[in-house]
Amino acid sequence: MTYRAGVVGAAGFAGIELVRILARHPEFELVAATSDALAGTRIAQVYPAFTGVTDLAFSTHEGTDFGSCDVVFLAVPHKAAMGMAPDLLAAGATVVDLSADFRLKDPAVYEQWYAPHTAPDLLARAAFGLPELTGDELAAAAERRAAGEAVLVGCAGCYPTATSLAAAPAIRAGLVDAAAPVVADAVSGVTGAGKKATERTHFCFANENVEAYGVGTHRHTPEIEQILGLEGRLVFTPHLAPLNRGLLSTVTLPLAPGVKAPTTEELVALYRDFYEMSPLVSVMDAGVQPRTASVAGTCRAQVGVAAHPAGVIVATGAIDNLGKGAAGQGVQCANIVFGLPETCGLEEIANPV
Ligand X SMILES: NC(=O)C1=CN([C@@H]2O[C@H](COP(=O)(O)OP(=O)(O)OC[C@H]3O[C@@H](n4cnc5c(N)ncnc54)[C@H](OP(=O)(O)O)[C@@H]3O)[C@@H](O)[C@H]2O)C=CC1
Q: Determine phi and psi for 198, rounding to 5 degrees.
A: -115, 180
Interacting residues with ligand X2W between 96 and 115 (CB under 6 A): 99-100
Min. distance of Cβ 119 from ligand X2W in angstroms? 17
The angle that helices 158-172 and 264-274 make with each other, rounded to 10 degrees, is: 110
Nearer to ligand X, 298 or 312 (CB): 298
Instruction: Tell me which residue of 246, 226, 225, 245 sits closest to 235, measured CA to CA.
Output: 225
Site track for ligand X across 60-99, x = CB under 6 A = ---------------xxxx-x-----------------xx
Of residues 225 through 244, those in contact with ligand X2W by CB under 6 A are 238, 240
Instruction: List residues bridging with 314 in a β-sheet.
Output: 252, 306
Q: Is 158 a catalytic site residue?
A: yes
- Report the residue number, 129 or 157, with the smaller CB distance to ligand X2W: 157
Q: Which stretch binds ligand X2W (CB under 6 A): 67-75, 186-194, 258-266, 306-314?
A: 186-194
Indicate which single residue of 8, 122, 151, 158 sits in contact with ligand X2W (rule: CB under 6 A). 158
Residue type, 193: A
Pick the catalytic residue: 155, 158, 299, 333?
158
193: contact with ligand X2W by CB under 6 A: yes
Evaluate whether 348 touches 216 at the Cβ level (below 8 Å).
no
Q: State how far the Cα of 67 lies from the Cα of 140, in Å rounded to an integer.
A: 24
Under rule CB under 6 A, residue 206 binds ligand X: no
Which residue is nearest to ligand X2W, using beta carbons? 157
Query: Cα–Cα distance between 79 and 57 in angstroms, integer?
Result: 26
Residue 11 binding result from ligand X2W, ligand X, none, given CB thresholds of 5 to 8 Å by partner type: ligand X
Size of the site for ligand X (CB under 6 A): 28
Q: Which residues fall within 8 angstroms of residue 353, CB to CB, at 6 or more apart?
A: none
Find all residues with CB under 8 Å of 55, minimum gap 6, and list them. Answer: 42, 44
Question: Could you tell me which of 170, 181, 171, 314 has the C-alpha nearest to residue 248?
Answer: 314
What, of ligand X2W, ligand X, none, does residue 240 touch, CB below 5 to 8 Å by kind?
ligand X2W
Among ligand X2W, ligand X, none, partner that 13 touches (CB below 5 to 8 angstroms by kind): ligand X
CB of 240 to ligand X2W, least distance (A): 5
Q: By CB under 6 A, is residue 222 in contact with ligand X?
A: no
Q: Could you give the C-alpha distances from 339 to 21, 62, 232, 332, 333, in angstroms and in order?
A: 18, 30, 36, 11, 10
Q: How far apart are CA 213 and CA 70, in angstroms?
A: 39
Residue-wise burial string across 129-143, b where 16 or more C-beta atoms lie within 10 A, e elsewhere: bbbbbbeebbeebbe
Instruction: Say whether residue 9 binds ligand X2W (CB under 6 A).
Output: no
Strand order in the sheet with 3-8: 28-34, 3-8, 71-74, 94-97, 152-155, 127-129
Q: Can residue 191 be called a binding residue for ligand X (CB under 6 A)? A: yes
CB closer to ligand X, 91 vs 269: 91
Q: Which does 290 bind (CB under 5 to 8 A by kind): ligand X2W, ligand X, none?
A: none
The binder of ligand X2W chosen from 34, 94, 163, 188 (CB under 6 A): 188
d(CA 82, CA 73): 13
Which of ligand X2W, ligand X, none does residue 196 bind (CB under 5 to 8 Å by kind)? ligand X
Residues within window 253-312 making contact with ligand X, judged by CB under 6 A: none
Q: Report CA-CA distances (Å) from 21 to 1, 27, 86, 212.
A: 18, 11, 25, 31
Binding to ligand X by residue 194, rule CB under 6 A?
yes
Binding residues for ligand X2W, rule: CB under 6 A, are 99-100, 157-158, 188, 192-193, 238, 240
Residues marked as catalytic = 158
